[in-house]
A and B are shown apart, each in its own frame.
Chain A
Amino acid sequence: MSRDISRRSILAAFPLAALSVSALTACGGGTSSASGGPSSPVSQADIDSAMKKDTKLTFWTWVPDIQKEVDLFQAKYPAMKVEVVNVGQGGAHYQKLRAAIQAGKGAPDVVQMEFDKLPSFTLTDNLLDLTPYGIGDLKPDYPGWVWDGVTPGGKGIFGVPQDTGPMGMLYREDLFTAAGITAPKTWDEFAAAVSTYRGKNSSSMLVNWAPSSEANMLGLFWQAGGRPFSYDGTRNVKINLTGDAACKKVTSFWNDLFRSRNIGNEPDFADAWYQGLNNGKYAAWLTGAWGPVFLQGTAKSTAGKWRAAPLPQWDSSKPASGNYGGSTDAVLKSSENPIAAAMLARFVNTDDKAALTLANEQFLFPPSTKTLKNPAFADAAASFYGGQKVNQQFTDIASTVQEGFQFLPFNDYAASSYDKTMGKAIGDRSDLNAALSAWQDDLVQYAKGQGFTVAS
């Protein structure tokens, strides 16, 4: 018996290594894609002939019902056959994309890509520069900060904006009134409101701020004028969280709030948090422009009691906001039909009808000024928000978002590094200022280890 077990124990131990490794092999060696794509503009004649040729395109996206916009595209260009595939949302989507790119086959032509992920894929040279395909003529349709997002490092146009998330504040008007406060206009007022609210409510708080949410915190840095990161498209990155006065100001402000124990520090998008929004444990949520519709689906029992307002301000004479979330559609360099792929990315997001459908039926907050100003979008009254024109409110906010914010070309790592430094401090209510330094140091160490030249 014992001999038998010794053999089994060895066999049983090996699959562990084999298992972990078989998952890894997908990300092993791999070849970098050929540097496809023309450098001079593609002529309208080339585009016309490409769009008349029978072509199959694959489109990876997790936008629900995107088939609606794709159908419009196929109706306009009958030679196009688009296969829409949802390979998973967020992390799973990018892991599969990386695996397909490394494997050299199976990657889509067009892919949904969040703004903060774009630089990680331009870094590895996987995205097609859309400049030769005439996408540059769209520039005037977008606020500067949106265009920043698809032109990381200024080295080309690597996506067509799909939706954005300029930040505002959603709050329960009834609970605010009961506590004798109004929507705070400045962060000082916000801090005062937090403690007033807490003083009148023993079991609820004005707001919750989740530990694992780098993107949300970057939105606040952005609003305050923080520009901690940059990447020049080659090997130079700037990481300057601790030297940036705005980042330090925001961190120290929230440090005081967490230490006072007057705000929540629960993980978001988890059961207890959903319940908290539903049952009044939290009276406000600082979130992106996609938040209003999301909340409507999550906190049904509180319909009619919510309102939307801009974020509290650092300088009320110069209203500002930051962005939290949002996507683009990008074309992979490996696509065999770059013209058709670029046209698909362009059409689903910018065709008048498609763009309006995305905004009004799929509730993606539109990036383009044209859609934002379209009365069919802007004038909609939301009964969940007591009839307030919430779209109009966030359209106003979108015009206050400032330009010049950049993400690191390894944002996945930056977010996970945030979790173990800043996120941990938020969860433990320990020193957030020290955590900002720890985050800075960890990012610098990683960047150097990956061969970047790091400036601060």
Chain B
Amino acid sequence: MAAYALSMPFMVAFALMIAVPLVYAGYLSLFKKQLIGGVSFVGMDNYARALTDPSFLGGVGRMALFLVIQVPVMLGLSLLFALILDSGMLRLQKFIRLGVFLPYAIPSVIATLMWGYLYGKDFGPFAQLAKSLGLPAPDFLAGGNVLFSIMNIVTWGFVGYNMIVMYAALRSIPAELYEAARVDGAGEWRVAWSIKIPAIKGALLLTTIFSVIGSFQLFNEPNLLRVIAPAAIGQDYTPNMYAFQLSFVNQDANYAAAIAFLLGIVIMAVSYGVQLTTNRKEKAS
């Protein structure tokens, strides 16, 4: 009985915040509501429509590309910073740790506004610099470049967060392991490669999966940059932007619910895929 009583608050919150909305969304996704003609039951039609909808598929594809490029770069940088900090070779350690982490404390809306200004073609510092060197101003917000500009904003924001997770894992490795390795003649790189990185595999997997989820859910950054780059960033640029558009502009909440569900499935599948590959590797080794 005590066990049930203790888990009650969680169960209630879970039911109210997750289970009920989820079931309701699933229910909504089976209907169609027209401005003229009202609501009708359409079964899986919304899902079938989504699977051939270039806007949805394009958004998922774009986020997959984002994921493949941005996540390795970001996590690689995080790992590098974490290892450097952990090695204790730096002066001003606390200051640097805080400095790398600080962007994470800035809300993504503010960060995007700030980067939007930095990217500006007329008055941004990069453009000014290029002009003073007599070069053409780089167009960070042009169609082909804007995805990379967004990657940069997200990386800037989240390197520090992931670094802290990895750094915390590194601090929990028993120091005896390092001593033993040094006795065997291992240098700092060797220790990092053969002891530290394998020991924090769990943290690496965790940050990878969180980053995968974060990538597919991208919304704030592209949505805000749209204001200054409307031709390069469409309303269906990411799946979440598309769902928002469907619901609040097209007045098609039912189809938006189906999109949200499908996106959830994509994310679960990819996360599971990531996990499966790492487990396999473990078994193989």
A residues contacting B by CB (< 8 A) are 1-2, 5-6, 8-10, 12-18, 20-25, 27-29, 91, 95, 98, 123-124, 211-212, 235, 267, 270-272, 275-276, 281, 409-410, 412-413, 416, 419-420, 423-424, 426-428, 446, 449-452
Q: Which of B10-63 contact A (CB under 8 A)?
A: 17-18, 21-22, 24-25, 28, 34-37, 39
Q: Which of these, A12, A275, A420, A451, contacts B34 with CB under 8 Å?
A: A451
Choose one: B232, B248, B260; the contact of A17 (CB below 8 Å). Answer: B260
Query: Does A21 contact B21, Cβ atoms closer than 8 Å?
Result: yes
Please state if A420 and B234 are interface contacts (CB–CB under 8 Å).
yes
Cβ of B263 under 8 Å from chain A: yes
By the criterion CB–CB under 8 Å, are A2 and B217 in contact? no
Contact of B213 among A9, A22, A27, A28 (CB under 8 A): A9
Which residues B237-280 have CB closer than 8 A to chain A? 240, 243-245, 247-251, 253, 256-257, 260-261, 263-264, 267-268, 271-272, 275, 278-279
For A1, A13, A29, A211, the residue with the greatest tally of chain B CB atoms inside 10 Å of its CB is A13
A452 touches B35 (CB 8 A): yes
Residue of B21, B34, B235, B240 contacting most chain A CB atoms (<10 Å):
B21
Interface presence of B164 (CB below 8 A): no
Complex alpha-carbon distance, A412 and B28, angstroms: 22
A20, B24: Cβ atoms closer than 8 Å: no
The chain B residue sitting closest to A236, CB to CB, is B36
A267 B122 Cβ-Cβ under 8 A: no
A–B pairs, 20, beta carbons within 8 Å: A2-B278, A5-B202, A13-B213, A16-B260, A17-B264, A18-B25, A20-B243, A20-B256, A20-B260, A21-B22, A21-B25, A21-B28, A23-B244, A25-B24, A27-B247, A211-B231, A267-B229, A270-B228, A271-B116, A449-B34
Is the CB of B121 closer than 8 A to any CB of chain A?
Answer: yes
Which residues from B are CB-within-8-Å of A13? Answer: 213, 264, 267-268, 271
Bound CA span A364–B256, Å: 38
Instruction: Please tell me which stretch of B101-109, B150-158, B181-189, B204-212 contacts chain A, meaning at least 4 of its Cβ atoms lie within 8 angstroms of it.
Output: B204-212
Contact of B37 with A271 in the complex, beta carbons under 8 Å: no
Rounded to whole angstroms, the CA-CA distance of A20 and B168 in the bound complex is 32
Q: Is the CB of B263 within 8 A of A16?
A: yes
Q: Across the interface, do B230 and A212 meet the contact criterion of CB distance under 8 Å? A: yes
The minimal Cβ–Cβ distance linking B25 to chain A, given in whole angstroms, is 4
Given A235-B36, A419-B230, check contact A24 B209 (CB 8 Å).
no
Compute how far the CA of A29 lies from the CA of B251 in the bound complex, rounded to whole angstroms: 12
Chain A proximity of B132: nearest CB distance (Å): 15
Contact residues in A for B245 (Cβ distance below 8 Å):
416
Q: A2 touching B205 by the CB < 8 A rule?
A: yes
Asked if A18 and B229 sit within 8 Å, CB to CB, the answer is no
Secondary structure at the A interface, as helix, strand, loop or mixed, is helix
CA distance A410 to B244 in the complex (A): 17
Known: A21-B25, A23-B244. 5 other contacts (CB 8 A): A8-B209, A10-B271, A18-B18, A276-B122, A451-B37
Which 9 residue pairs of A and B lie closest in terms of their CB atoms, listed nearest first? A427-B231, A451-B36, A21-B25, A1-B202, A17-B264, A451-B37, A451-B34, A20-B260, A450-B35
Whether A14 contacts B18 in the complex (CB less than 8 A), given A24-B247, A25-B24, A272-B123, comes out as yes
Decide yes or no whether B120 CB sits under 8 A from chain A: yes
Known contacts A16-B267, A420-B235, A424-B234: A410-B247 contact under CB 8 Å: no
| Cα A420 to Cα B209 with chains together (Å) | 33
Say yes or no: A28 contacts B24, CB within 8 Å.
yes
Q: Which residue in chain B gives the minimum CB-CB distance to A269?
A: B227
Interface membership of B117, Cβ < 8 A: yes
CA of A413 to CA of B247, assembled, Å = 11
Which single residue of chain B is at the shortest CB-CB distance from A4?
B202
Q: Is B235 in contact with A416, judged by CB distance below 8 angstroms?
A: yes
Contact of B25 among A25, A95, A235 (CB under 8 A): A25
Q: A419-B235, A450-B36 are in contact. Are A412 and B21 (CB under 8 A)?
A: no
Give CA–CA (A452, B21) in the complex, Å.
31
Flag if A24 contacts B253 (CB, 8 Å): yes
In this complex, what residue of A is CB-closest to B113? A271
Residue pair A9, B271 in contact (C-beta under 8 Å): yes
**Given the contacts A25-B25, A95-B248, A18 and B268 also touching, CB distance less than 8 Å:** no
Contacts of B117 in A (CB 8 A): 271
| Distance between Cα atoms of A16 and B216 in the complex (Å) | 10
Are B230 and A6 touching (Cβ within 8 A)? no
State the CA gap A320–B221 with chains docked (Å): 42
Q: For A25, what are the chain B residues with a Cβ–Cβ distance below 8 Å?
A: 21, 24-25, 28
CB distance from B109 to the nearest CB of A (A): 14
Give the interface centre of B35, B37, B232, B275 by most chain A CB atoms within 10 Å: B35
CB-based contact B231/A451 at 8 Å = no
Q: Is the CB of A270 within 8 A of B227?
A: yes
Q: In the complex, A91→B235 CA distance in Å?
A: 14
Question: Whole-angstrom distance between the alpha carbons of A130 and B264 in the complex?
Answer: 47
Q: Quick check: A211 and B279 within 8 Å, CB to CB? A: no
* A17, A276, A412, A427 interface centre (most CB from chain B within 10 Å): A17
A14 to B15, CA, bound (A): 12
Q: Whole-angstrom distance from the CB of A445 to the nearest CB of chain B?
A: 12
In the bound complex, how far is the Cα of B158 from the Cα of A73, in angstroms? Answer: 53
Task: Across the interface, name the chain B residue whose C-beta is closest to A420.
Answer: B234
Q: With A and B bound together, what is the CA distance between A275 and B143 in angstroms?
A: 23
Instruction: Check A14 against B249 for contact (C-beta < 8 Å).
Output: no
On whether A16 and B264 interact (CB within 8 A), knowing A21-B22, A423-B231, the answer reads yes
CB contacts (< 8 Å) of B22 on chain A: these are 14, 17-18, 21
Q: Which of B17, B227, B248 contacts A27 (CB 8 A)?
A: B248
Q: Find the residue from B216, B217, B279 having the highest chain A CB count within 10 A.
A: B217
Q: Which residue of A lies closest to B261 (CB)?
A: A17
